[in-house]
């Protein structure tokens, strides 16, 4: 495991960082610095791969429960799948049509693909090294084993043979390749086998090669029955091992010379021209049927597959050698999540917790009365998502509620929020729902939700053509004392009960009239295609959010130049947008201290003398997925705190409908600032970014207080059981 230790240390990254800083020289002031110089930007795609590497490092952290470490390995595999399905697929398309579109680092499409291939191959090799050399031995020490064929007992072999005959073979359709049976178009990310055969079939044909695709209905990991394993121990077998052992039964009169698993990853982005289609719902429904058969972008093959068979598969799949990955283990690591689900070992998993609930919102109380008294800020997953569901349920049953309007981006197939909206519509209330049908990989669920709400007589719209509706907002109009009062929920995350237990997000409940009017104007714009509304308090994309953030960064520059306090803290998922990065650079040159907490992609280079030496970037990777988007500005000792749905990316700031809302209550504002300071003090789950794009994990000094932001917040707002 020396390789893993070397990669974790990032020693090479530190040396490169010093070289980079020396090469850039001593930069003096903003007037002499070309802040759009491509040397000052990190590549977006490589930064995303580095984030996935940080996730993988969680699988090596002995402080993380063992089954959760296995889960992190699976997550890194799933993340990499999506990276190829979307990011790499898009770059390949750009290259093929001659589009040389480049990001701020000015690296052209062809070169980016080469960089991706090199880093992704390293990442995949490390994934399988972690599996084979670290996790599987560690699991074995806990009496959890995945049995290779060579170690099956006679009794186990007999049981598995019966399992193959009764459960597997009947649903398999092996295809011998010849002129009448060309190489099949394989399902995206399906488990397949290429088989080399010797002999002739019943028709006298010498097949040579055959392809076998395992249906997705078959489990990829099978647990042996209790009588075939020691008491209290777990024994698993991969489906691929079972097929390896008994596949010859499918080819009567022939012998299998070699059998090797492989998997093809395809372009999974939906190709829909929103300007041309007259029915977006139908267009997306039709396009979903083709998602699993897009163009090939990656080919994974068992590492022991002979070169001639590798070349055969590569040619048949139309793949360049750079996109072929030879793997020492199952071709889909994410399937190992089944082990986490099947093994009932609480000692090897994260300790369960009970989500807290703000004292201002007692369970079963009048939620409208509570919000009238004060703004309420929810911090998920430390605090429960239930109040958000409760307010919609109460609104659906309240005769004084006249109108409910809500955006839905990712909500889940079985959503209590949708149940409440349906109940409200059936009760005769005016229910308007803006559903973003193009939420990637949730399109099918959103199409079903749209149909269900329409059947309940809710008004359903799909946002603005060409602009995804990513804002998270809820508006309830309630008649009180012969006047309409606005009740609003604004969030940084989706209206999804399940993800609210694993994503960190803020949600603001308020009855502020001006914010309510702002949200009302936004809904009118979304449904009627009206003019840009003038906002009282909110910033919104694609109109005022980008400029509003730039103005506030510039205000900190003005303050520092006037000798006033200046400080910026931003916590986001991604930082890509060049103008925002340039504004941060200008602020750093002016002397503004900038702390950036960026979970994933960061294209800004911190720590360059004279340019970004006042900028510090950290990433928090832990039990929960950091998802809050928060912006703090010192504002001359009158702190301004904003939260919103948008990341600092072009698509969010300029090509989506997003909201960013102020936290005006001093009590709540101070709480958010305290949360940010906890993240900045984290010395257990934080990674520090160097100017060369490498991350180094923060290590607390001996004797120093150990601070884990997520654990601290969990203890403050929730109780374990």
Torsion angle defined by CA atoms of residues 559, 618, 626 and 79, in that order, rounded to the nearest 10 degrees: 130
Pairing status of strand 296-302 against strand 324-327: parallel
Q: Please give, one letter per residue, the 3-state secondary structure of 442-476.
A: CHHHHHHHHHHHHHCCCEEECCECCEEECCCEEEE
Full DSSP string of 513-560: HHHHHHHHHHHHHHHH--PPPPPSS-EEETTTHHHHHHHHHHHHHHHH
> At which residue do the structure tokens 């093994």 appear?
343
Residue partners of 674: CB distance under 8 A and separation at least 6:
none
Strand partners, 709: none
ω into 542 cis (within 30 of 0): yes
Name the catalytic one among 234, 244, 379, 470.
Answer: 470
User: What distance in Å separates the CA atoms of residue 189 and residue 332, rounded to the nearest whole number?
Assistant: 8
Tokens of 61: 């952290």
Measured in degrees and rounded to the nearest 5, phi and psi for residue 89 equal -60, -40
Q: Which helix (H) or strand (E) holds 175?
A: strand 175-176
User: What distance in Å separates the CA atoms of residue 375 and residue 370, rounded to the nearest whole number?
Assistant: 8
Active-site residue, 121 included? no
CB atoms within 10 A of CB 73: 24
Strand partners, 510: 488
Residue partners of 626: CB distance under 8 A and separation at least 6:
504, 571, 573, 597, 599, 620
Q: Which helix (H) or strand (E) holds 55?
A: helix 44-57
Q: In what order do the strands lie in the sheet with 234-238?
A: 144-146, 234-238, 221-223
CB 432 within 8 A of CB 459: yes
Indicate the SS3 state at residue 479.
strand
**DSSP count for the chain of H helices, then E strands:** 22, 29
Q: How far is CA 443 from CA 37, 449, 502, 536, in A?
A: 39, 10, 21, 33
From the list 387, 398, 386, the residue with the least C-alpha distance to 427 is 398
User: What distance in Å separates the CA atoms of residue 433 and residue 527, rounded to the nearest whole number?
Assistant: 9
User: What distance in Å separates the CA atoms of residue 197 and residue 56, rounded to the nearest whole number?
Assistant: 38
CB 402 within 8 A of CB 428: no
User: What distance in Å separates the CA atoms of residue 580 and residue 41, rounded to the nearest whole number?
Assistant: 12
Full DSSP string of 360-409: TS-TTS-HHHHHHHS-EEEEETTB-SHHHHHHHHHHHH-TTEEEEEEEES
From the list 305, 633, 660, the residue with the least C-alpha distance to 515 is 660
Residues labelled catalytic: 470
């Amino acid at each position: 495991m020396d390789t893993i230790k070397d990669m974790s240390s990032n020693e090479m990254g530190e040396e490169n960082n010093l070289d980079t800083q020396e090469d850039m020289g001593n930069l003096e002031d903003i007037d002499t610095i070309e802040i759009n110089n491509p040397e000052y930007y990190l590549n977006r795609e490589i930064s995303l791969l580095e984030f996935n590497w940080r996730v993988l490092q969680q699988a090596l952290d002995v402080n993380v429960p063992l089954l959760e470490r296995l889960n992190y390995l699976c997550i890194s595999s799933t993340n990499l799948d999506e990276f190829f399905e979307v990011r790499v697929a898009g770059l390949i398309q750009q290259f093929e049509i001659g589009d040389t579109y480049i990001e701020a680092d000015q690296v052209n499409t062809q070169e980016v693909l080469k960089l991706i291939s090199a880093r992704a191959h390293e990442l995949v090799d490390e994934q399988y090294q972690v599996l084979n050399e670290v996790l599987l031995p560690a699991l074995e020490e806990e009496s959890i084993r995945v049995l290779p064929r060579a170690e099956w007992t006679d009794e186990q072999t007999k049981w598995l043979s019966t399992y193959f005959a009764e459960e597997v073979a009947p649903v398999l359709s092996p295809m011998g390749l010849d002129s009448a049976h060309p190489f099949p178009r394989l399902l995206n990310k399906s488990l397949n086998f290429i088989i080399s055969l010797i002999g002739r079939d019943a028709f006298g044909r010498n097949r040579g090669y055959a392809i076998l695709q395992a249906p997705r209905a078959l489990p990829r990991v099978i647990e042996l029955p209790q009588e075939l394993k020691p008491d209290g121990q777990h024994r698993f077998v991969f489906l691929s091992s079972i097929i390896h052992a008994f596949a010859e039964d499918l080819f009567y009169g022939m012998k299998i010379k070699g059998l090797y698993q492989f998997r093809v990853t395809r372009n999974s982005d939906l190709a829909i021209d929103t300007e041309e289609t007259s029915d977006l719902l139908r267009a997306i429904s039709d396009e979903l049927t083709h998602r699993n058969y897009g163009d090939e972008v990656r080919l994974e093959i068992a590492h022991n597959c002979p070169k001639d068979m590798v070349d055969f598969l590569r040619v048949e799949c139309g793949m360049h050698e750079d996109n072929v990955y030879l793997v020492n283990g199952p071709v889909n690591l994410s399937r190992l999540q089944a082990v986490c689900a099947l093994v009932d070992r609480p000692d090897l998993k994260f300790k369960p917790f009970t989500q807290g609930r703000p004292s201002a919102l007692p369970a079963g109380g009048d939620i409208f009365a509570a919000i009238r008294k004060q703004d309420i800020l929810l911090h998920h997953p430390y605090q429960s998502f239930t109040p958000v569901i409760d307010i919609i349920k109460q609104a659906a049953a309240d005769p004084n509620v006249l109108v409910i309007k809500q955006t839905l981006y990712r909500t889940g197939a079985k959503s209590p929020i949708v149940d409440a909206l349906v109940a409200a519509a059936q009760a005769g209330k005016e229910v308007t729902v803006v559903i973003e049908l193009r939420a990637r990989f949730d399109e099918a669920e959103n199409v079903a939700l749209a149909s269900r709400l329409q059947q309940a007589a809710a008004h359903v719209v799909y946002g603005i053509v060409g602009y995804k509706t990513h804002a998270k907002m809820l508006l309830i109009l309630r008649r009180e004392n012969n006047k309409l009062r606005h009740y609003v929920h604004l969030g940084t995350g989706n209206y999804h009960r399940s993800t609210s237990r694993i994503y960190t997000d803020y949600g603001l409940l308020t009855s502020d009239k001006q914010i309510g009017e702002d949200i009302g104007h936004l809904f009118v714009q979304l449904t009627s295609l009206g003019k840009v509304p003038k906002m009282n308090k909110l910033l919104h994309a694609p109109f005022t959010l980008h400029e509003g953030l730039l103005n506030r960064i510039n205000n900190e520059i003005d303050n520092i130049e006037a000798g006033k306090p200046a400080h910026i803290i931003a916590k986001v998922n991604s930082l890509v947008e060049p103008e925002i990065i340039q504004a941060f650079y200008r602020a750093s040159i002016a002397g503004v201290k900038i702390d950036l907490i960026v979970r994933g992609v960061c294209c800004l280079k911190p720590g360059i003398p004279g340019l970004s030496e006042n900028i510090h970037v950290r990433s928090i990777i832990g039990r929960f997925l950091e998802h809050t988007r928060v912006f703090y500005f010192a504002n001359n000792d009158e702190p301004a705190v904003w939260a919103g749905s948008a990341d600092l990316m072009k698509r969010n700031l300029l090509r989506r409908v997003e909201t960013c809302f102020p936290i005006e209550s001093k009590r709540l504002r101070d709480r958010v600032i305290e949360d940010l300071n906890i993240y900045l003090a984290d010395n257990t789950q934080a990674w520090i970014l160097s100017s060369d794009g490498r991350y180094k994990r923060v290590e607390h000094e001996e004797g120093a207080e150990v601070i884990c932001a997520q654990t601290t917040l969990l203890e403050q707002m929730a109780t374990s059981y």
